[in-house]
Structure 1
Amino acid sequence: MTTPSALDARAALRVAVVLIFLVFGYMKFLPYEAEGVQGIAATYWLFGWMYPLLGVQGASNVIGILEVSAGVLIALGGRFPLAGLVGGLMGVATFLVTLSFFFTAPGIVEPGYAFPALGGTGQFLAKDIGLLAICVFLALDARQRLTQATT
């Protein structure tokens, strides 16, 4: 049985990560964000193929659709565990991908310093460690609720 305070904490985590996905997903539809994302994503194996096919804004729109979809599914996960499981797994995938930029993106470490002196890009990506943990928690919680519903 889950205590009310645990339910409140789960709801707070859900709301926080949903807001992040919705805001960051929405921003991908804006030209300034599309240009910013291109700096990291255009040379990345997972996204690079989209740029010649869809252009800068088109590639960013695809990323935005995925982020908004993850946010909506995680939000629905409070009521529908299957949606929460799919959204949580999408969130896990999203943050594993963004954290993998630590190995390829410029600006991870501040010039003239060594790790862990993070540069602007590194500081921006570091938050994804916590967001990954939240998505893992929400996916596992949804899986547990699905399992309980079928037994």
Structure 2
Amino acid sequence: MKIVYSFLAFASRFDKAGIRLLRIAVSVILIWIGALKFVPYEAEGITPFVANSPFMRFFYHHPEEYRQHRNKEGEVSPANISWHQINNTYGYSYGLGLLLMGIGALLLLNRANPVLGATGAVLTAIMGIGTLSFLLTTPETWVPDIGGDHHGFPYLAAPGRLVLKDLIMLAAAVVLLTDSAKMALARREKKG
């Protein structure tokens, strides 16, 4: 048992390193996924979420038609690509990509300016809440009733499992906001 407590004492010193690693991890995820929003398959992949969201569907010109124009990841269908161009699928995705990369950059600027880091954390929390709302608005997040016994709530389809992971982003945002706030207040106190 002594070795367990020795390990726990050793591990207890990683809180600051853990928060730094968490900040880097969230930033990498946001910047990487943001950059992917400039690739057609990723832009097309978010169409069900945006088209069904009461808060985002207005970005698309024809959100109600998305089901007829879905491509599989990597599939090239000129007719569907043309529809996505007309629908503003790509334009919305480019804007979202820039926003995600910007949030990731704000998180990384925390050491230089913790107020910027806190801003990135708040935006990450808002993004997490927005993404989690897709569980309520997007039918594709649940296993459809096509003959199996397991469909609807609580049976998450692949898009639902992807969305549910944003609970981690939301929790990380709270930890990062707390860290940035403490750092900003400590710097302010030092300046007197």
* Same fold? TM cut 0.5: yes
Deviations 1:94-119 (A, max 9, x none): 01000011101123222333533211
Instruction: Choose which of 136, 143, 147 in structure 2 pairs with 1:103.
Output: 136
> Which sits farther off after the overlay, 127-136 or 101-110?
101-110
Overall identity of the aligned pairs, in %: 30
The equivalent residue for 1:33 is: 42
Alignment partner of 2:159 out of 121, 142, 150:
121
Question: Aligned-residue CA RMSD in angstroms?
Answer: 1.8
Q: TM-score, normalised on structure 1?
A: 0.90
User: Could you tell me which of 17, 36, 40 is aligned with 2:26?
Assistant: 17
Matching of residues 1-151 of structure 1 within 5 Å: 5-52=14-61, 55-111=88-144, 112-151=150-189
Q: Distance in 1 between matches of 2:152 and 2:44?
A: 28
> Where has structure 1 moved over 3 Å in runs of 4 or more?
none
Report which of the two structures shows the higher radius of gyration computed on alpha carbons. 2
Structure 1's 50 and 71: CA in aligned 2 closer, same or farther, altered over 3 A?
same
Deviation sequence 1:35-63 (CA, Å, 0-9, x none): 11122102312222222398111111111
> In structure 2, how many angstroms separate the alpha carbons of the residues matched to 1:107 and 1:36?
11
* Preserved CA contact (<8 Å) 1:24 1:64: yes
Residues 1:54 and 1:142: Cα distance change in structure 2 (over 3 Å): farther
TM-score, scaled relative to structure 2 = 0.72
The answer on whether the counterparts of 1:11 and 1:78 sit within 8 Å (CA) in structure 2 is no
Does the 8 Å CA contact 1:106/1:121 hold for their aligned counterparts? Answer: no
3-state DSSP class of the match of 2:151?
Answer: coil
Aligned length: 149
Decide whether aligned partners of structure 1 residues 32 and 10 sit closer, same or farther in structure 2, where only a CA change above 3 A counts. same
Any gaps of 5 or more consecutive residues in structure 2?
1-11, 62-85, 145-149
How many Å separate the matches in 1 of 2:55 and 2:152?
28
